[in-house]
Amino acid sequence: MNKTVNGLNINYEQKGSGDLVVLLHGWGANITLFANLIELLSKKYTVVAMDMPGFGKSDEPPTAWCVDDYVQFVVDFLADYAANKIVFLGHSFGGRVTIKMCSRTDLPFKIEKTILVDSAGILPPKSNKKSLRTYYYKAGKAVLSNGLVKKVFPDALENFRKKMGSADYAAASPLMRQVLVKVVNEDLEPLLPNIKCPTLLVWGVNDTATPLSDGEKMEKLIPDAGLVKFENAGHYSFLDQQFMFNRVMCSFMKIGD
């Protein structure tokens, strides 16, 4: 399905009937990863999942957005539904958007529950090695951005960025790289106490992108939160342990009652 939101063509899926549940995917992902979850939740709820701008089959944002811009996009996307209460599930980057959403005091709806799955939002501590790598990257970028160097070695800067950046950075378009830099450098830890609704945290014990310690910290800082840990699961715990994840979801969302 497609619709236009603020001039952007957005790909989305909707299934089921009942109260609204919104699924927000992670960085570099899209709604296809939620196929099982959409099928499960649509037994009791209206489930909506959209490819956020810059991902999947949706248009890129017009400028380098920050997390707040994505929050506003989701609010605008949902305006047609006129929902009084909504449950949000955010995986990884989608968790960032959900956390920021919960800090808004002017939402046209009530957030009834949140589900954060291997969520991003907590800045990792900077090691000496990482600080040195950042310095080296900035120095190299400055040199390779020089007009004469770019003329003689036109591909050098792009190759350097791919070598020094993360896999997500290397795979992103130039605009989405700017978005990524903005997003990953925003620390959402101070906002966690603002999440007042019941919150389910689901984490893969072997998650290296957003480590389990992030989930444990969120459990302490969110007033009404509970953490479920899955062994033999990584950053995509909802896929790695799909059967167990479905059981947890059925319990938290009261599916089958």
pLDDT in tens, 18-58: 999 999 999 999 999 999 999 999 999 999 999 999 999 99
103 shares its domain with 34:
yes
34 shares its domain with 92:
yes
C-alpha distances (whole Å) from 65 to each of 53, 181, 199, 245 are 9, 10, 26, 31
Task: Note down the domain range covering 155.
Answer: 128-174
* Domain end marker among 105, 140, 174: 174
C-alpha distances (whole Å) from 115 to each of 2, 66, 95, 155, 249 are 25, 21, 8, 43, 9
What's the Rg (C-alpha) of the chain? Answer: 19
What's the CA gap between 221 and 83, in Å, rounded? 28
109 shares its domain with 192:
yes
- Asked if residue 161 is part of any domain, the answer here is yes
61 shares its domain with 15:
yes
- Asked if residue 179 is part of any domain, the answer here is no
Is 120 in a helix, a strand, or coil? Answer: coil
Q: What is the mean pLDDT of the chain?
A: 89
Structural domains in the chain (count): 2
Least confident segment among 74-78, 157-161, 195-199 = 157-161
72 shares its domain with 138:
no
27 shares its domain with 44:
yes
